[in-house]
Amino acid sequence: MTRFGMAVDLDRCQGCRACVEACKIENNTPSSVFWMHVFRLEDGEYPNTHIDFLPRPCQHCNNAPCVKVCPVGARFKREDGLVLTDYDRCIGCRYCEVACPYGVNYFNWRSPDDAFADYQIPFDDPDVASVTGGAVPAYKNPDHDRKYGDEQRLTSGSAHQKGVMEKCTFCVHRVEQGLLPACVDTCPVGALKFGDIEDDETPISQFIRSNNTFQLLEDLGTDPSVVYVGGTAPSSTAREIERPTTGVDR
């Protein structure tokens, strides 16, 4: 059996958020939505301060609380370990979001068009539309119009419809083409690795096996498929610095 997972090499991560940006463009997520988020954390008191970076994609838990609570089976886990959302089935109750201890879920509070409007780039500008056909965003990835997996559900990409839940898909559309997720692919320092973590022979399994690892909030028993290598789990006194802005007025 395949179980896709990600290894995050914290000794390498430099917190640049290239992964965040690659994800946003690959998956067409609108403003304020970060399927991949990178914590920049500060801990300790001057001058014994330290800084840590912690990329946070969806953990694609083996024992996923979000899947359990979904009342209609819109959030589901595939046999290959990917935890996905069926955008055509989700009723928008947001139970998965409160059930998830990692804060990885993003709800479409607005219509995708409205959510992109924060970027203040009128994609419907006639000059732009003459090239893009008015696609929102202009760099819209056609892969997300397709359905994936045996289950053939609409699970890939973002900004499909208002009122449904979304989150990191491990780039299901890329994985099924044999490509790495966009975040992994772009990481300048190779801090992100992806592959089958159940097969002992894969590079990622060997990498995980030969290092000290931890999972986020291990005690909760969610058994994430994202494994952190090197570094330590964020302490309770860690403070987040340099947060991204969110365009949604709060």
Partner 1 sequence: MTTQTMPTEERPQDGAPRLPMGVGQFSRGWLLFFALTTIGSIVGLIGYLTEHSQGMVATGMRDLGTMGGATWGIYISLVVYFVGISFAGITIAALIRLFDIEDLKGTARMAELMTIVALLLGGIAIIVDLGQPLRGIVNLFRYARPQSPFFGTFSLVIAGYLFASIVYLYLTSRRDAAVLAKQPSKLQGFFRAWAAGYEDTADQRSRDRRTTFWLALAVLPLLVVAHSSLGFVFGLQVGRPGWFGTLQAPAFVILAGVSGIGHLLVFAAIVRKLLGQEKRIGLEAFAWLGRFLMVLLFVYSYFVIVEIFTTIYQPTVAEQRIGDALLTGRYAWLFWISVATLVVHAVWLGWMAVTKRWNVGALVVIGLLVNVGAMGKRYLIVVPSQTHGQLLPYGDGVGSYSPTWVEYAVAVGLFSFGALLIGLFMKMFPIIELEDSKTEAVT
Partner 2 sequence: MTRRGVITIAMIVIGVSLMGAAYFAGSAPWCADEVACSNPRMEWSPALFVFGVIIAISSALYYDVAKDKAVDRDSGPKDKTR
Partner 3 sequence: MAEISRRTVVKGTAAAGGTVAASKLLFNVVDSDASAETGLQLAAPVEDEVFTTCWIGKQDCGMSARRVDGRVVKFEGMNGHPRNDGTLCPKGQAQIVSIYDPNRLKTPLVRTNDKGVTGEWRQASWDEALELVAEQYAKVAADDPKQVLWQKGRSKAKDFYDEAFVKAIGCSKLGHGAYCSDTGYRAVEYTTGLHGVLHPDLLNSKYVLSWGWNITNAGGNKFCWLTWPRQLVQARENNGLKIVQIDPRLRPAGPFADEWVPIKAGGDLAMALAMCHELIAQGFIDQPYLTAYTNAPYLVGEDGLVLKETIGEGEEAADVPLVWDDAVGRAVMYTDAVEPALEGNHQIDGQTFTTSFELFKAHVDQYTPEWAADKCGVDASTIRRLASEFGTEASIGATTIVDGVEVPHRPVGIMAYHMAQQELGFQAVRAMTIISMLVGAVGAHGGQLSDFTWKIHKNYAAFEDLKIDEPPYDFTLKNSKFFPINTGFPGIVTQVMQDPDRYQVEKLPKMVIIHMANPVVAFASAPDFVATYGMFDFVAVISPWMSETADLFADVVLPAATIEKYEGPISAGDGYIDAKALRLPPMEPLFESRGEIDIYLDLTEKMGLLHGEGGYLERVNDLLGLAETEFALPAGEKPTPRDIFDRWSKSQGLSGIDYFEENGVWVKGPLSPAKRYGYVSDPPFGGAVHRLYGESLLKAQRLQEDMGVDEVYSRDYTAFPTWRAPTMDASPPEYEFTLISYKLVEHKQSRTAMIPLLTELGGRQRVEMNPSAARRLDLSEGDVVTVESHNAVTGETRSVETVLALTEGIRPDVVGMPHHFGGWTHPVSRGLGPSPNDLYFSSEGYVGQTADASFHVKVRVTKGSEST
Q: Which residues of this protein are in contact with partner 2, per CB under 8 A? A: 62-64, 67-68, 70, 73-79, 86, 149-151
Nearest distance from C-beta of residue 101 to partner 2, angstroms: 15
Choose which of 53, 107, 116, 194 interacts with partner 1 (CB under 8 A).
Answer: 107
Measured from the CB of residue 210, what is the shortest distance to partner 2 in angstroms? 28
Q: Which of 128, 129, 179, 217 binds partner 1 (CB under 8 A)?
A: 217
Tell me the three state secondary structure of residue 240: strand
Indicate the length of the chain as a whole number: 250
Hey, which residues does 50 pair with through a beta bridge? 43
How far, CA to CA in Å, does 101 sit from each of 140, 165, 229, 236, 238?
31, 16, 20, 15, 17
Span interacting with partner 1, options 21-29, 119-127, 148-156, 234-242, rule CB under 8 A? 234-242
CB burial of 104-137 (b: ≥16 within 10 Å; e: otherwise) equals bbbbbebebeebbbbeeeebeeeeeeeebeebbb
Q: Which positions lie near partner 1, rule CB under 8 A? A: 32, 34, 37, 39, 41, 56, 65, 68-74, 89-95, 97-111, 114, 161-165, 216-217, 220-222, 234, 236, 238-240, 243-244, 246, 248, 250
